[in-house]
Amino acid sequence: MSTEPNKLAVSGPESLSTNNETATVTSTASAAVPSSAHSTVNTRLGSATAEPSTDTMQTATTTNEPGPVLVITLLLTSGARHPYKIDEKYLIKRNVNVPGTTESGRKDPFSISVYTLKELILREWREEWEAQPSSPSSIRLIYFGRLLDDKTALKECKFNADAANVVHMTVRPQDMIDEEDASKSKSLARERDASEDTAGCRCVIL
């Protein structure tokens, strides 16, 4: 009877110790694998979340890209100079219809016409200048000795986009404009009379 309890006393702790070691190894192994896996997944997710998308970077670059700027210095007959800085903000503020845009979607000041530029000048006419003309057509703009035509786009005038462009401005006297208008009216009347004579019936009586 004394032998059986000793066996139980010996076998009991050994089996418990072995089971504990097995449980410890198993728990350590099972805990180690998911931990590294989760850390790897979390790291990948974190890096994926932190990296901005290419589309967002391109959009930010496009939005922050400055648009073209046209700088003009008006040289008056009195010798006075008046600078003009024409960019997208300037055109939007004055509700100017801009026909052209840049590749980034900005309004291109070089796409407006010479006549539109004259309208802007007339809109901001100053008292210390010459007598204010009645229409933009009365304003004459000369760049490098060439008279700029009203229908010409500014990009065709070969303005420098990196520096100020000196443009001479003169105003045609009102009496000269009246004489030109009168001569145009006379020439139109003559052309109309000539066309009526040509269109009339010419009959020959035998």
- Give, in order, the Cα–Cα distances in Å from 50 to each of 44, 45, 61, 162, 185: 10, 9, 19, 39, 73
pTM over cut 0.85: no
Residue 8: predicted pLDDT: 41
Per residue of the chain (206 residues), give pLDDT as tens: 444 444 444 444 444 444 444 444 444 444 444 444 444 445 444 444 445 555 554 544 445 677 899 999 999 999 999 999 999 999 999 999 999 999 999 999 999 999 999 999 999 999 889 889 989 999 999 999 999 999 999 999 999 999 999 999 999 887 666 666 677 777 777 777 777 665 555 555 55
Residue 186: predicted pLDDT: 75
Dist CA 189 CA 183 (whole Å): 10
List phi, psi (to 5°) of 200. -70, 160
Find how far residue 100's CA is from the centre of its chain. 10
Question: Vertex 163, ends 103 and 157: CA angle to 5°?
Answer: 65
Q: Which residues contact 92 (CB under 8 A, 6 or more apart)?
A: 107
Domains of the chain, with CATH numbers?
Answer: 65-174 (3.10.20.90)
* Residue pair 62/104 in contact by the 8 Å Cβ criterion: yes
Dist CA 206 CA 194 (whole Å): 27
Dist CA 97 CA 108 (whole Å): 11
Q: Provide the token pair at 97.
A: 């219809």
Residue 79: predicted pLDDT: 92
* Residue pair 153/70 in contact by the 8 Å Cβ criterion: no
Q: Provide the token pair at 17.
A: 């110790």
Residue 55: predicted pLDDT: 53
pLDDT tens digits, one per residue of 59-102: 444 456 778 999 999 999 999 999 999 999 999 999 999 999 99
**Residues forming beta bridges with residue 147, ordered by sequence position:** 142
Task: Give buried/exposed letters for 60-83 (b at 16+ CB in 10 A, else e).
Answer: eeeeeeebbebbbebbbeeeeeee
Task: Give buried/exposed letters for 1-39 (b at 16+ CB in 10 A, else e).
Answer: eeeeeeeeeeeeeeeeeeeeeeeeeeeeeeeeeeeeeee
Find how far residue 8's CA is from the centre of its chain. 91
Residue 29: predicted pLDDT: 44
